[in-house]
Amino acid sequence: MSETKKTLSFEEKLQEVQELTAKIESGALPLEESVKEYERGMKILGELTAELGGMSRRLTVLQDGKETEVSDENI
């Protein structure tokens, strides 16, 4: 995927991590490039984790006629 400044969706970021993983696992990249791609993948994974945390906090369910925050234990 190209490194443009457009904002990627969650799914696009996940796809990019999968592509980076496949490139690294192929063994075709030089060590230095593998390390750079690994760092890039870890950065994207951090963004994905933050997005998931935000989504989890935003999720609400109707329970007993009132909205309650969904916690990680309830998922």
Task: Please indicate whether residue 8 or residue 5 has the higher confidence score (pLDDT).
Answer: 8
Please write the tens of the pLDDT for every residue from 7-66: 899 999 999 999 999 999 999 999 999 999 999 999 999 999 999 888 777 765 444 556
Spell out the domain ranges in the chain. Answer: 10-74
Q: What pLDDT is recorded for position 56?
A: 76
What's the pLDDT score for residue 1? 47
Residue 59 is predicted with a pLDDT of: 67
Q: Exposure pattern of 1-23 as b/e (b: 16+ CB <10 Å)?
A: eeeeeeeeeeeebeebbeebeeb
Residue 53 has what pLDDT? 85
